[in-house]
Amino acid sequence: MTDKQNAPANNGKKVGRAPKLDNGFYSQDIISVSQFTRENLEYIFGVAEEMRAIVKRVGSTDLLKGSVLACVFYEPSTRTSASFIAAMSRLGGTVIPITQGVQFSSVSKGESLPDTIRTLESYADIIVIRHPEMGSAQIAADYARKPIINGGDGVGEHPTQALLDLFTIEEELGRVDGLNVGMVGDLRYGRTVHSLARLLCLYDVQFNFVSPEILRLPLDVMNEIRNHDLPVSETYDVSEIISDVDVLYITRVQKERFADLSQYEEVRDLYVLTPELMEDAKEKMIVMHPLPRVGEISYAVDSDPRAAYFRQMENGMYLRMALLAAVLGKA
Amino acid sequence: MTDKQNAPANNGKKVGRAPKLDNGFYSQDIISVSQFTRENLEYIFGVAEEMRAIVKRVGSTDLLKGSVLACVFYEPSTRTSASFIAAMSRLGGTVIPITQGVQFSSVSKGESLPDTIRTLESYADIIVIRHPEMGSAQIAADYARKPIINGGDGVGEHPTQALLDLFTIEEELGRVDGLNVGMVGDLRYGRTVHSLARLLCLYDVQFNFVSPEILRLPLDVMNEIRNHDLPVSETYDVSEIISDVDVLYITRVQKERFADLSQYEEVRDLYVLTPELMEDAKEKMIVMHPLPRVGEISYAVDSDPRAAYFRQMENGMYLRMALLAAVLGKA
Amino acid sequence: MTDKQNAPANNGKKVGRAPKLDNGFYSQDIISVSQFTRENLEYIFGVAEEMRAIVKRVGSTDLLKGSVLACVFYEPSTRTSASFIAAMSRLGGTVIPITQGVQFSSVSKGESLPDTIRTLESYADIIVIRHPEMGSAQIAADYARKPIINGGDGVGEHPTQALLDLFTIEEELGRVDGLNVGMVGDLRYGRTVHSLARLLCLYDVQFNFVSPEILRLPLDVMNEIRNHDLPVSETYDVSEIISDVDVLYITRVQKERFADLSQYEEVRDLYVLTPELMEDAKEKMIVMHPLPRVGEISYAVDSDPRAAYFRQMENGMYLRMALLAAVLGKA
């Protein structure tokens, strides 16, 4: 998989693992946050900043004129698909949107994922795939000759989300090293939390995890943090850490996770961010959220300049522009 | 909301009302026909004529190169979405189509309309929204920093339809003042009838309304016409007005509106336009319909040069090109 | 229909039949393989080769800049719609995708196909239609002023598939005359088999048909072959012809076709291509499949250089680029 353009099609026997981006992004698959070094991140964030400058100044560029992106979404994701479509459009390229879910695709006729991918790569130059099953993006990459970007594979990874989250932290606060990062809500099932925490292990940060007992961070992520000797705290109440954090990354606590609903009712208010709570926060800090939110951040917080979640959305477009350009060798 | 580019995000407290377009279209929301003056209409119709000339001559222009339109349709509308996509494409811009309905969007995860709009505006330069609930387009505009165009909000408004209807009248007949306008069919629930009637109140016209008793024009629209001292007649039978009208605007009488189906069967034929009826019409007049039709205009009328409904469709594209260009400051 | 740009709208009385392409492709409908002569095929394959050269060299061209294609798909077809979208994009044109099926379109409000087509042609320069009912593409063409391309009409035709199949044969083997063509699987209901067989009747080929008894080639196609005095054989077992054929065109044998499932179980393995079978095939031959496949070609065959089905997919894009450019007068 080191140089996809010349790789032969896989014959159904190999199970791959996306390699480190040691030689840059050109022609590489983007499957997992484990591929990135700090150098990779610095590079791609630099490109994303240039993309922002271009969009602010003239709206778009012709960098990827003539290139075609296939967006194949086996499950709906307005946000991620819209972001990639906007990114490719602002780079001058075009998009084949295949976003109607499994019922609208050859998958409904029983076609295998590798066949679908190999068909789409005969039309497109690069493919973004979102799929409800963990590992599906890697399977796509194993069979494809063209580069694959993982747009989220079930409870697996969502690397472009983690990249835009980290990009937002650096843009908003000017650095990552030395920060105190609070992560709140569903830390057990929250794919975005896991991926971002793993990326942050490349830096010198301090973690504060806030969740109900049954939604605590899984052991594997916790162990990865410990292996990096980074300081960690865990609590049940966001008010205990609000005054310490530079970054407050909030995710939703879903009612469905609780077998006993009275338990949910008991704790839910501990995970809702309000203007009152924000009074105790540092003057220079940011509130992040992968969105969509459903009540876990009060609307009244939106006007607080520290509320960074909509800027975070916008950064997603710049970051994806940077990735597309870098993978296609035009960054 | 007077200058959207610099407006802060609304914090969930204000309920707005789209202002008059006193200073032109640039950076304004297009929510309601009540925003327009005759000067606005003359201006935008002039731009629409230029758009037609461009399309006829070279197919498209690069006027909006680099601009991105998000089309978010919470209910299906082939016609309106296709028209906006074609309009943006022929202006050199690109479109993020979000047309899969509520089941395919963050809305299904419970996200609020304002959050969806604020996300999309971080990717796009302008947003068209179609939504089944009256007032939704205004809510979107209240929260957005980028311009919003109402693509139809339930029983509320559909301003771009009313504009293209009026544009068609002026294009086909050379003027609006002095015309006798017949409106036929479901005048009670017909959103397009209400909006067009309101726009026509800016002119010196005469109205002839033809509908079953239970589908008569609502009092508020009738009162607005009376406030302008414009002559009005109401009848049950299109044959009574066919020889008088310069414009015959037909809409569908839906079976579902009748509690008593025998009542429907009794009146249905009074609202079907046939070649025989057209024999009594003026030589220079036009038949309009917002489409789709289901039997209320006989196919045999299509070859009559006075049948303007397909030209009306085409005008929709030119009018929407004009609006997009004007709102984005490139007209 | 000879010059669509100037043709008046049909008034619901005429039932047409797509004419021979005697004067080339410009402004013509592409409805049936019966329209093509060898000269037409040579011409369009030559253009398709140029399209491939352009894509390989620079990715895209501006040949159709400013042109708009409406893709109206009344049934899902990831492959065909993605191929047309990619083709139009790589030609510099844009696409209005209407691919949400009948439930998402004015059809659900009861609109007739002619009205839908006449609406879309007021926005677009050319229309591709896919529809589950045989004859629907011709109906669309009868009413349209703009050119219509049949993207598959039920058990009727799928001419662009047949063209890309034949193009693949010529590209892979350098000629069509003199070839021995094996067709395997569901020959009774297989639309692609019928259309390709009809096109091959323009050449000097030999046919070998392999299918279960209940899925034998229909009489009308068989008679057309006989009228051309071309040699034909029919068998139940692909192993009987594998060593003779230059082209092996495989389609799926669907379980649902069999009233008696035990019958299906008995024959299914006779229609699965394996590496073992391929050992008996000529060194220079090709395996084709319209895709999607579900088991009828073993994945282990994919790495065989004679497996041409993914190259066949790619050829579909070049062939459709050629058709779009030719019909719009820019080839």
- Within 8 A of B104 by CB-CB distance, chain A residues are 76, 78, 99-101
Angle at C146 between CA C144 and CA C152, to 5 degrees: 75
| pLDDT value of position A100 | 56
Q: Are residues A124 and A243 in the same domain?
A: no
C130 is catalytic: yes
The number of helices, as runs of H, and strands, as runs of E, in chain C is 10, 9
pLDDT of B92-101, one tens digit each? 999 998 865 4
- CATH number of the domain bearing residue B182: 3.40.50.1370
Question: For residue A26, is pLDDT > 90?
Answer: yes
User: Do the Cβ atoms of A69 and C82 come closer than 8 Å?
Assistant: no
Q: Are residues B144 and B183 in the same domain?
A: no
| pLDDT value of position B64 | 97
| Spatial distance between the Cα atoms of C116 and C129, rounded to a whole number of angstroms | 11
- Give the HSE-up count for residue C34: Cα atoms under 13 Å, Cβ half-sphere: 11
Q: Are residues B142 and B183 in the same domain?
A: no
Q: How many angstroms separate the Cα of B92 from the Cα of each of A66, B61, B67, B83, C87?
A: 15, 6, 8, 14, 18
pLDDT of A143-163, one tens digit each? 999 999 999 998 889 999 999
Sign of the CA dihedral C201, C202, C206, C207?
A: negative
Q: Which two tokens stand for residue B292?
A: 């789709």
Q: Are residues B57 and B125 in the same domain?
A: yes
| pLDDT value of position A267 | 81
Per the DSSP assignment, residues forming a β-bridge with C130 are C73
Residue in B38, B302, B300 with CA at minimum distance from that of residue B163: B38
| Residues counted in chain C | 331
Q: Which two tokens stand for residue B89?
A: 């494409």
Question: For residue B103, is pLDDT > 90?
Answer: no
Sign of the CA dihedral C51, C54, C58, C62?
A: negative
Residues of chain C whose beta carbon is less than 8 angstroms from a beta carbon of chain B are: 8-9, 11-12, 65-68, 70, 94, 96-98, 100, 103-106, 108-111, 114-116, 118-120, 122-125
Sheet containing B247-250, strands listed edge to edge, beginning at the edge strand earlier in sequence: B232-235, B206-210, B180-184, B247-250, B286-288
Phi, psi of A137 (to 5 degrees): -65, -40
Phi, psi of C148 (to 5 degrees): -115, 135
Nearest to C79 among A8, A94, A119 (CB): A119
The number of helices, as runs of H, and strands, as runs of E, in chain B is 10, 9
Q: Are residues C114 and C25 in the same domain?
A: yes
Q: Residues 6 or more apart from A305 whose CB is under 8 A from it?
A: none
Q: Which two tokens stand for residue A133?
A: 């099953």
User: Do the Cβ atoms of B165 and B174 come closer than 8 Å?
Assistant: no
| Spatial distance between the Cα atoms of A39 and A289, rounded to a whole number of angstroms | 26
Phi, psi of B274 (to 5 degrees): -120, 165
Angle at A222 between CA A221 and CA A227, to 5 degrees: 95
Q: Which of A269-283, B18-32, B259-273, C209-223 has the lowest mean pLDDT?
A: B259-273
Phi, psi of B235 (to 5 degrees): -140, 175
pLDDT of A214-226, one tens digit each? 999 999 999 999 9
Nearest to B106 among A78, A299, A310 (CB): A78
Q: How many angstroms separate the Cα of C179 from the Cα of each of B325, C232, C241, C245?
A: 57, 12, 13, 8
Q: Range of A26's domain?
A: 4-157+314-327
Mean pLDDT of all residues in A7-14: 42
| Spatial distance between the Cα atoms of A290 and A80, rounded to a whole number of angstroms | 11
Question: For residue B43, is pLDDT > 90?
Answer: yes
| pLDDT value of position A101 | 47
Q: Are residues C137 and C251 in the same domain?
A: no
Choose from A62, A94, A105, A116 for mutation: most chain C CBs within 10 A.
Answer: A94
| Residues counted in chain A | 331
pLDDT of A68-111, one tens digit each? 999 999 888 889 999 999 999 999 999 998 865 444 444 445 67
Q: Which of B305-309, C136-140, C259-263 has the lowest mean pLDDT?
A: C259-263
Position B104 confidence tier, pLDDT thresholds 50, 70, 90: very low
pLDDT of B141-171, one tens digit each? 999 999 999 999 988 899 999 999 999 999 9
Question: For residue C106, is pLDDT > 80?
Answer: no
Q: Are residues B101 and B121 in the same domain?
A: yes
| Spatial distance between the Cα atoms of B318 and B47, rounded to a whole number of angstroms | 8
Mean pLDDT of all residues in B68-81: 91
Phi, psi of C149 (to 5 degrees): -115, 130
Q: SS3 for B331?
A: coil
What radius of gyration, in Å, describes the C-alpha atoms of chain B?
20
Q: Which two tokens stand for residue A141?
A: 């990459």
pLDDT of A283-323, one tens digit each? 999 999 999 998 899 999 999 999 999 999 999 999 999 99
| Spatial distance between the Cα atoms of B283 and B304, rounded to a whole number of angstroms | 11
Q: SS3 for B210?
A: strand
The answer to whether the Cβ–Cβ distance between A302 and B67 falls below 8 Å is no
Question: Of the residues A4, A130, A131, A198, which is catalytic?
Answer: A130
DSSP state of B134: T
> Which uninterrupted H or E stretch holds A241?
none
Closest chain B C-alpha to C21 CA, distance in angstroms: 25
| pLDDT value of position B264 | 84
Q: What beta strand segments (E) does chain C contain?
A: 68-73, 94-98, 126-131, 148-153, 180-184, 206-210, 232-235, 247-250, 286-288
pLDDT of C134-190, one tens digit each? 999 999 999 999 999 999 998 889 999 999 999 999 999 999 999 999 999 999 988
Q: Which of A50-64, A103-117, B43-57, B178-192 has the lowest mean pLDDT?
A: A103-117
| pLDDT value of position A8 | 42
The answer to whether the Cβ–Cβ distance between A120 and C310 falls below 8 Å is no
Q: Which of A13-22, A151-160, B24-33, C273-282 has the lowest mean pLDDT?
A: A13-22
Nearest to C86 among A110, A116, A124 (CB): A124
Domain count, chain B: 2
Q: Are residues C65 and C205 in the same domain?
A: no
| Spatial distance between the Cα atoms of B197 and B207, rounded to a whole number of angstroms | 8
Give the nearest chain B residue to C111 (CA atoms): B292
- Within 8 A of B100 by CB-CB distance, chain C residues are 100, 104
Position A195 confidence tier, pLDDT thresholds 50, 70, 90: very high
Please indicate whether residue B7 or residue C96 has the higher confidence score (pLDDT): C96
Q: Are residues A10 and A135 in the same domain?
A: yes
Q: Residues 6 or more apart from A172 whose CB is under 8 A from it?
A: A286, A308, A311
Q: SS3 for C149?
A: strand
Position C318 confidence tier, pLDDT thresholds 50, 70, 90: very high
> Which uninterrupted H or E stretch holds B277?
helix B275-278
C79 is catalytic: yes
| Spatial distance between the Cα atoms of A31 and A136, rounded to a whole number of angstroms | 10
Nearest to B78 among C9, C11, C105 (CB): C105
**Cα dihedral B273/B279/B280/B281 (nearest 10):** 70
| Residues counted in chain B | 331
| Spatial distance between the Cα atoms of A169 and A154, rounded to a whole number of angstroms | 25
Mean pLDDT of all residues in A265-283: 92
| pLDDT value of position A19 | 87
Position C101 confidence tier, pLDDT thresholds 50, 70, 90: very low
Beta carbons within 10 angstroms of residue A219's beta carbon: 9
Question: For residue C270, is pLDDT > 90?
Answer: no
Q: Are residues B147 and B278 in the same domain?
A: no
Angle at B230 between CA B224 and CA B233, to 5 degrees: 95
Residue B65 one-letter amino acid: K
Choose from C89, C104, C167, C252 for mutation: most chain A CBs within 10 A.
Answer: C89
User: Do the Cβ atoms of A76 and B104 come closer than 8 Å?
Assistant: yes
Q: Are residues C72 and C171 in the same domain?
A: no
Q: How many angstroms separate the Cα of C255 from the Cα of each of A293, B80, B301, C271?
A: 46, 42, 49, 12
Position A1 confidence tier, pLDDT thresholds 50, 70, 90: very low
| pLDDT value of position A14 | 42
| Spatial distance between the Cα atoms of B303 and B311, rounded to a whole number of angstroms | 12
Q: Are residues A164 and A152 in the same domain?
A: no
